[in-house]
Amino acid sequence: MCASGPVVVYFFPRDFTPGCTAQACAFRDAHPDFGTAGVEVVAISADDAETHRRFAERYALPFRLVSDPDRSIARAWDAMALWGLWPARVTYLVGRDGRIAASIRDELRMQRHVIEVRRALERLRSAG
The answer to whether 25 is a known catalytic residue is no
User: Nearest CA to 23 among 3, 43, 53?
Assistant: 43
Which residue is catalytic, options 8, 9, 20, 44? 20
Distance CA 24, CA 3 (A): 23
Contact partners, residue 55, CB within 8 Å, separation at least 6: 15, 16, 24, 47, 61, 65
Query: Active-site residue numbers?
Result: 20
